[in-house]
Structure 1
Amino acid sequence: MYLEKKAIKRSKIRLLMGKAYYTAKRYKQWYFSGRVYTNNISRELYTYRVFTHSTPLLRKLKDVDMQLQYNKITNLKIAIKKLNGIVLKPGETFSYWKLIGKPIYKKGYLDGLVLCADGSFKAGVGGGLCQLSNLIYWMTLHTGLTITERYRHSHDIFPDVSRTQPFGTGATCSYPSLDLQIYNGTNFEFQLLLHLTKDNLVGEWRSTEESMNSYELYEKEHSITPALFGGYVRNNIIYRKTYNKNIGLIKDEYVTENHAYMIYNPYLNG
């Protein structure tokens, strides 16, 4: 059962102390946990395509400056240079933020769109990189890789018009505490490919071996419930079916549970 918690207003000092704590905790994990984090990039294209997906670069949002979305494209271009061609060998872990690093103005990042804790939007350096973590998470769910760390979005910002995948199949990110980490527990290598077209962010997982499995993501127990402190909360549970080319359905498993405040009218048509 999901128990909604009221947002707590914290002082600036408390926020700074919290940020320092979680930053130190993340760096301790990166450098002293004993995990092997990948940082190898190969420009040689791996043979087998496992899964590919694309998402639109621009969306019209009410009362939001479109320049922030154009700036997002610049931010994506910079981040993609750190990730495109990255190789994940057996036993290695992919860390989104360890590879990209801290997004700052000095590196060329611009103010993009950042979702605030109350569901509003603001300008923030490196804003918009959640689109990239969303894409990688969704693609990874269609592979044999294991997602070891992922954070759900706290707000549902888009109605279901033109939605192509179940609600709650994205991964939010915030440097360095909200990371996306992926472990390769298979016996073969994977390669992540990313690029931008005029209209879309495009990603692909490739591998050294042909995959015998395919995957189907779906939701259960979808509901929209009144929030205790006003508004509505959208809920669901994501499951995944695994199909083997020779056998058929071999697994139907739980993936994650989602609860997000809705920032649009839940009774919109479409």
Structure 2
Amino acid sequence: MTTVHGLEPLELPARLTAPPRLTQRHPWLLPAAMAAHRARRRTQWVRDAWSGRVAWAKRHEDRDLPVRLKQHGSLLLRELDPDQMHLQHNKVTNLRLAASRMDGLVIAPGETFSFNRVVGNCTRRKGYVDGMKLSNGEAEAGVGGGICQLANLVHWMVLHSPLTVVERSEHSFDPFPDTGRVLPWGVGCSIVYNYVDLVVRNDTDHPFQLRTWLGERYLHGQMRTDVRPEHSWRVEARGEQFLRREGQVYRRNQIWRRVVDRRTGDQVGDELVKSNCALVVYEPGPDVEVIDLD
């Protein structure tokens, strides 16, 4: 660990310091490894169903629950490398299919939501096409690529609700500059069917409903419920830093959630959601301060 200029020590997550995985050294093993991961997750789902330990949310309701708790729109197309724009346009096709599977889902009290169980496996047979996927910090073509944007949207809305995040995997890399960024860096999700998932549980006495649809320029989402909660939530990034060590740039921050009493406007809680640290795979622009730790 290194401390400089009064900064907290930079301690890299194990996933960034571990030796290359076997599948990274021998990529031909990746399909078998993925099949094993998927089999374990399917076994877990079957075990949960037989035991009754988990009640999975699967009911959809066309009629809106009366209270709109959170709404957000996510830009569909970003200006990236012109050679990759066809993957951006294909992503829109994939998001339209995935959002239609998500739209109207009700998470009743005691139920658990799984992104992978609701959206399912994104295959060509279902109409999914090659979109942009991230693998080891690089953008590449893959069937169903881009649906992480829907998971990001859902996670952002969940953070503005009393629902409990049970499982969420973030990206190990910061792949793109912040051009046009609206949400804080570090609130996104990584999705790989079926073992890298976004899982959320409803520990309240009220149902919550997800509405998701595509407009001309944005992926839209709403979180709805039947009674407005007594609290509201404000999510923000703190301690944003770019640090260079041994020739590599890392980005880190913390995501915090302030809990506010709706009636008085007073802050009644301050929750650390996640500490993030990722390898930056682009060269930060001149307007980004990079602190050298060497």
Secondary structure at the residue paired with 1:15?
Answer: helix
Matches within 5 A, 1:257-268: 257-268=275-286
Of 113, 118, 127, the residue aligned with 1:99 is: 118
**TM-score of the superposition, structure 1-length normalised?**
0.93
Q: Distance in 2 between matches of 1:83 and 1:257?
A: 28
After TM superposition, the structure 1 = structure 2 runs for residues 199-218 of structure 1, keeping only pairs within 5 Å, are 199-218=217-236
Alignment partners' CA distance in 1, 2:112 and 2:181:
30
In structure 2, which of residues 192, 196, 202 is the aligned counterpart of residue 178 of structure 1? 196
Q: CA deviation at 1:13?
A: 5.4
CA distance in 2, matches of 1:204, 1:110: 26
- Alignment of 1:7 with 2:12, yes or no, is no
The runs of at least 4 aligned residues of structure 1 exceeding 4 Å deviation read none
Q: What is aligned with 1:189?
A: 207
- Superposed CA deviations along residues 103-159 of structure 1, whole A, max 9, x for unmatched, are 110110000011121x22111100000110011111110011111100111221232
Partners of 1:107 and 1:268 in 2: CA distance: 44
Distance 2:105 2:144 in 1: 21
Q: Which structure would you say has the larger Rg?
A: 2
Aligned AA for 2:125?
K
CA distance in structure 2 between the partners assigned to 1:99 and 1:189 by the alignment? 17
User: What is the aligned partner in structure 2 of residue 232 from structure 1?
Assistant: 249
User: CA offsets per residue over residues 207-247 of structure 1, 9 Å max, x none?
Assistant: 0111221111122332222255x431101111110001124
Residue-pair matches, total: 268
Structure 2, unpaired ranges of 5+: 1-10, 289-294
Contact 1:68–1:112 (8 Å) recurs in 2: yes
Task: Give the superposed CA RMSD.
Answer: 1.7
Of stretches 23-32 and 105-114 in structure 1, the one that deviates more from structure 2 is 23-32
1:51-66 mapped onto 2 (5 Å cutoff): 51-62=70-81, 64-66=83-85
Amino acid at match of 2:281: I
Identity of aligned residues (%): 34
Q: Which residue of 2 aligns with 1:162?
A: 180
TM score, norm. by length of structure 2: 0.86
Answer yes or no: is the 8 Å Cα contact 1:188–1:209 preserved in 2. yes
Query: Does the aligned pair in 1 maintain the 2:91–2:145 contact within 8 Å?
Result: yes
Give me the whole-angstrom Cα distance separating, in 2, the residues matched to 1:115 and 1:260: 14
1:68 aligned onto 2:87: yes
Partner of 1:88: 107
Q: Distance in 1 between matches of 2:105 and 2:172?
A: 29
